[in-house]
Structure 1
Amino acid sequence: MSKIKTYFETKSVQSVYIPFFTLGDPDYDASVEYGKAILESGANILELGIPFSDPVADGPVIQRADARALKNPFSFEKLFSVTKAIHEHRPETPLVYLTYFNPIYRCGIESFLNQAKASGIEGLVIPDLPFDTEESEFLFRELAKRDMDLIHLITPATVKSRIQMMKKTSSGFIYYVTSFGVTGERREFSVDLEERIKFLKGILNLPICAGFGISTPEQASQIAHYADGIIIGSAVQRIIEENGKNRAQCVKALQDYTSSIRNSFS
């Protein structure tokens, strides 16, 4: 059984908080400190972004983070080393990679999965990997061998027939995209968001975690009443961007923000 599945089945909170940030922004040493600060302040699961040159699902804040991260020397060895350092700080907290398929392919699928698992990664979110492909089915099987999860995204436009088909290669939880478009902070969400999330839970029998656009404690608190998890990326990444290389200031800001979100629906 995967660590993520176990976590959701035994969680003591109604809804989990899943923050995201891009590794390597502004540098990899800072990423370790930021990851530790977020874990200490209330993250239940932590999603780590692998920097990529063409992050098609992401809005401008995360696009800029990827661009800054890619100015640093990149290696898979460094990536996994930083991930492991974050994991060892709070080994009980599941870590997830958000990555596009190209880095996995370039590293070699089995090699990537072995090193990711050894570094503390328990699941993958891959926005550009369709669920109904040979690659997705192969990856799902290889992840299952390692007790890791393949976490699919579902959008408001995903039709029921495709949702039914996703059962075959979905595990861990579903990343539900709360609104159309790319990642980024938003003021309002669709009026049928609660109904849609409950509908998905009934079909897939998996936890449904809501992301894309959530940024404030008030929004998180509202959605946490019916979603199994709240995913926040752009607002976290904006804190890192706005604090630049003032690491101590950024750590404090991340701690304060993480606590404010976690406390809003404890």
Structure 2
Amino acid sequence: MDASTAAGRIARRFAALKDEGRAGLVTFVTAGDPDHETCRALLQALPAAGADLIELGMPFSDPMADGPAIQASDLRALKAGARLTRTLELVRAFRDGDAETPLILMGYYNPIYSYGVDRFLADAGAAGVDGLIVVDLPPEEDAELCLPALKAGINFIRLATPTTDDARLPAVLRNTSGFVYYVAIAGITGTASAEDAVVGPAVARLKRHTDLPVAVGFGIKTPDQAAAIARVADAVVVGSAIVSRIQANLDAENRPQPGLVDDVQGFVRTLAEGVRRARG
């Protein structure tokens, strides 16, 4: 796959969503949670359930921006043998059956640094990764990964938060590509609920500074909440609620119970229906 294919998949998907007159659904799962094969089946099931884009978490032992659900999923994945090479294996397996759904790796810089930036970008691009969200690299560190990723044809997606003021926004947006990820609540993932009355003005403010689509995540747990955010944003990101659904289908030893994939797929389908009905 050439670099233009990776960079173009996200833009094509948002253009198609705009033509349909609706927001997109972005789903998050942690690579290798609860094990490699179950995660592979989950990834393959997400587009059919209505996921328009997929974020795949890169397991890390100290996920400081994430709440208890995703922290637990990282630990489950690491205990089951997850590592960055296996995350890229999951991407390659997904791409064997799906050439169009954008797939974004999300996580922290340490595993990428340990892997080697140049080697990682080459392997990620070859596997079919479309974008990166690396939550602990600020704009001041763009030379570390952001600029090399853009050069390699991989979108670099930046987070904006309720505390990102107008003075800070230009730096945040300067090298952002693909879309902007707006964090709807202050704090860690999965601990509070996003409110559309607050998110709407925040999205409007972002759009005064950028032409990029704005996806909103953190604190979106139900189809009704997804619908409310879908009325004011270009995409809705759901992570902790999906990861919690995975956890609810594990036994006491964190082994997947029969029906896990079907149950998660059914839950994602309800989220997708909420997003799709949001604008009538």
Give the TM-score of the pair, scaled to structure 2.
0.90
Determine the structure 2 residue equivalent to 1:89.
97
Determine the structure 1 residue equivalent to 2:72.
64
Query: Post-superposition shift, 1:76?
Result: 3.2
Alignment of 1:1-266 (within 5 A): 2=7, 3-11=9-17, 12-133=20-141, 136-184=142-190, 186-187=192-193, 189=195, 191-244=197-250, 245-266=255-276
3-state SS of 2:140 partner: coil
**1:140 partner letter:** C
State how far apart, in whole Å, the 2-side matches of 1:248 and 1:83 are. 24
Query: Post-superposition shift, 1:201?
Result: 1.2
Matched-pair contact (CA < 8 Å) for 1:178–1:193: yes
Query: Post-superposition shift, 1:254?
Result: 1.3
3-state SS of 1:32 partner: helix
State how far apart, in whole Å, the 1-side matches of 2:33 and 2:221 are. 20
Query: Post-superposition shift, 1:142?
Result: 1.7
Post-superposition CA distance 1:161-219 (Å, at most 9, x none):
11012232111111100011100053452742101101101212211100001010001
Tell me how large the CA RMSD over aligned residues is. 1.6
Identical counterparts, % of pairs: 34
Structure 1 portions without partners, runs of 5+: none
3-state SS of 2:227 partner: helix
- Number of matched residues? 264
Query: Post-superposition shift, 1:247?
Result: 4.9
Matched-pair contact (CA < 8 Å) for 1:217–1:260: yes
**1:108 partner letter:** G
Query: Post-superposition shift, 1:148?
Result: 1.2
**2:108 partner letter:** Y
**1:156 partner letter:** P
Matched-pair contact (CA < 8 Å) for 1:185–1:235: no
Relative distance call for 1:228 and 1:178 in structure 2 (3 A) is: same
Query: Post-superposition shift, 1:265?
Result: 2.3
Structure 2 portions without partners, runs of 5+: none
State how far apart, in whole Å, the 2-side matches of 1:13 and 1:93 are. 18
**1:195 partner letter:** P
Stretch of structure 1 that moved more, 175-184 or 186-195: 186-195
State how far apart, in whole Å, the 1-side matches of 2:158 and 2:139 are. 7
State how far apart, in whole Å, the 2-side matches of 1:141 and 1:187 are. 33
